[in-house]
C-alpha cells in the first residue's frame, strides 16, 4: 500500500507531533490488539448472555478511540484535508472506520463484524517490516501474474498429454482436461506423488518421463522463479522504505532549521527593540 512521504505535505505541527509520536502509535497499536482479543472472546460467549453485552460495549469504546484518532490525523492536515488521502493507509483507515457511520451498513451485523475485523489489519501500518511485505506483494504481482499464466499453460499441456496417455485407464484423475489439470495442480505440492506415479506406471512406460519432467519444470523451476521474483521485489520495497525514512528524517531536519531561523529572527527583532529603547533614553 503506497504512502506519500509526509515530510513534503504541510501539516499542523502541534497535531502532527501528537499523531506521529511513538507513544501515540504504541497506544493505538495496544487498542488494536485489545480489540482483536475482544473479537476473539465474542466467539466463546453466548450472544444472549450479559458478558456478550460487555464485549460489545468494549467494541464501541475501541471504535470511539479509532474515530478520535482518525479525526486528529485528518485535522493535522489543516486547511488542506485532501492531502490526508494521498496516503494509501489513510484511505484504508477512512473506509474501515468511517463506513461504520453509514446508516445502511450499521443495520447489517455481518458487515459491521467484518469492519471490526478489518480494524485489526491497521496494526500493519505501525510495523515497518509488515509495510515492506505488503509493498513486496504489490510489486511482485505483475511478474507473478505472468508466472501464473505460464503455470496454467504448463498444466494445460501436460494435462492434455495425461488425458491421451492415462485417461482411459484412470478416468478419475485423467479422464478429462479439468480433472487432469486438478491432478497436476495437486502434484505441484508433491502430495501423493508416489501414488499417482505408481498408478500411471501400471498404464504406460512413459509415466516416469512424464511425471519427472513435469516435477522438474513445474514444481522446481517455476516455483524457484516465483521465489526469485518475490525476493527481488522485497529488496526493491526495502530500498523504497529506506528512502522514505531518509526523506522523513530530512524533513525533520528542515523543520528544526526553520524553527532556529524563526528564533534568530525573533532575537534580531528583540535586539532592535532594545537598541531603540536605549536611544530614546
pLDDT in tens, 237-267: 777 767 766 665 655 554 555 566 667 777 7
Would residue 267 count as lying in a domain?
A: yes
DSSP 189: T
**Are residues 185 and 154 in contact, defined by beta-carbon separation less than 8 angstroms?**
no
d(CA 134, CA 89): 11
Of 160, 161, 153, the C-alpha closest to 207 is 161
Asked if pLDDT for residue 160 goes beyond 90, the answer is yes
pLDDT, one tens digit per residue, over 198-230 is: 889 888 888 999 998 998 888 777 777 777 777
Count of other CB atoms within 10 angstroms of residue 34 = 14
**Are residues 29 and 273 in contact, defined by beta-carbon separation less than 8 angstroms?**
no
| Pair 39, 143 in one domain | no
Cell of 67: 474515530
**CATH code, domain carrying 261:** 1.10.287.70
d(CA 116, CA 59): 8
Burial of 144 (0-12, 13-18, 19+ CB in 10 A): middle
Residues with Cβ within 8 Å of 86's Cβ and at least 6 positions away in sequence, in order, are: 4, 9
| Pair 74, 204 in one domain | no
Confidence at 180, pLDDT banded by 50, 70, 90: very high
Backbone angles phi, psi at 9, to 5 degrees: -110, 125
Backbone angles phi, psi at 3, to 5 degrees: -135, 120
| Pair 164, 118 in one domain | no
Lowest mean pLDDT among 20-24, 41-45, 155-159, 229-233: 229-233
Question: What range does the domain containing 45 cover?
Answer: 6-126
The position carrying cell 492415462 is 166
Would residue 1 count as lying in a domain?
A: no
Confidence at 280, pLDDT banded by 50, 70, 90: low
| Pair 134, 113 in one domain | no
pLDDT the model gives residue 250: 59
The half-sphere exposure of 169 on its side-chain side, counting CA atoms within 13 A, is: 13
Q: Between these two residues, 45 and 245, which has the higher pLDDT value?
A: 45
| Pair 42, 29 in one domain | yes
Q: Would you say the pTM of this structure is higher than 0.75?
A: no
Would residue 198 count as lying in a domain?
A: yes
**Are residues 57 and 41 in contact, defined by beta-carbon separation less than 8 angstroms?**
no
pLDDT, one tens digit per residue, over 66-93 is: 889 889 988 888 888 888 888 777 888 8
pLDDT the model gives residue 5: 45
Asked if pLDDT for residue 8 goes beyond 60, the answer is no
d(CA 247, CA 233): 21
Cell of 262: 524563526
Q: Give CA angle at 70 (36, 259), nearest 5°.
A: 125
Would residue 30 count as lying in a domain?
A: yes
Amino acid at each position: 500500500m503506497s504512502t506519500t512521504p509526509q515530510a513534503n505535505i504541510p501539516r499542523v505541527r502541534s497535531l502532527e507531533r501528537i499523531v506521529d509520536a511513538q507513544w501515540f502509535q504504541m497506544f493505538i497499536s495496544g487498542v488494536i490488539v485489545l480489540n482483536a482479543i475482544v473479537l476473539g472472546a465474542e466467539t466463546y460467549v453466548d450472544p444472549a448472555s450479559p458478558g456478550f453485552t460487555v464485549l460489545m460495549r468494549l467494541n464501541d469504546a475501541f471504535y470511539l478511540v479509532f474515530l478520535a484518532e482518525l479525526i486528529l490525523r485528518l485535522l493535522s492536515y489543516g486547511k488542506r484535508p485532501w492531502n490526508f488521502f494521498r496516503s494509501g493507509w489513510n484511505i484504508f483507515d477512512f473506509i474501515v472506520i468511517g463506513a461504520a457511520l453509514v446508516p445502511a451498513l450499521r443495520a447489517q451485523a455481518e458487515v459491521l463484524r467484518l469492519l471490526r475485523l478489518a480494524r485489526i489489519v491497521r496494526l500493519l501500518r505501525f510495523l515497518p517490516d509488515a509495510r515492506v511485505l505488503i509493498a513486496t506483494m504489490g510489486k511482485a504481482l505483475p511478474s507473478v501474474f505472468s508466472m501464473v499464466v505460464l503455470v496454467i499453460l504448463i498444466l494445460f499441456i501436460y494435462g492434455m498429454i495425461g488425458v491421451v496417455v492415462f485417461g482411459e485407464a484412470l478416468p478419475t484423475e485423467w479422464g478429462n482436461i479439468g480433472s487432469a489439470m486438478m491432478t497436476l495442480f495437486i502434484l505441484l505440492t508433491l502430495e501423493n506423488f508416489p501414488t499417482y506415479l505408481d498408478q500411471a506406471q501400471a498404464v504406460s512406460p512413459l509415466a516416469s518421463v512424464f511425471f519427472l519432467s513435469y516435477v522438474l519444470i513445474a514444481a522446481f523451476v517455476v516455483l524457484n522463479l516465483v521465489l526469485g521474483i518475490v525476493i527481488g521485489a522485497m529488496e526493491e520495497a526495502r530500498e523504497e522504505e529506506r528512502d522514505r525514512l531518509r526523506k522523513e528524517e530530512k524533513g525533520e531536519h528542515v523543520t528544526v532549521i526553520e524553527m532556529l531561523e524563526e528564533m534568530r529572527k525573533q532575537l534580531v527583532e528583540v535586539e532592535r527593540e532594545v537598541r531603540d529603547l536605549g536611544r530614546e533614553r
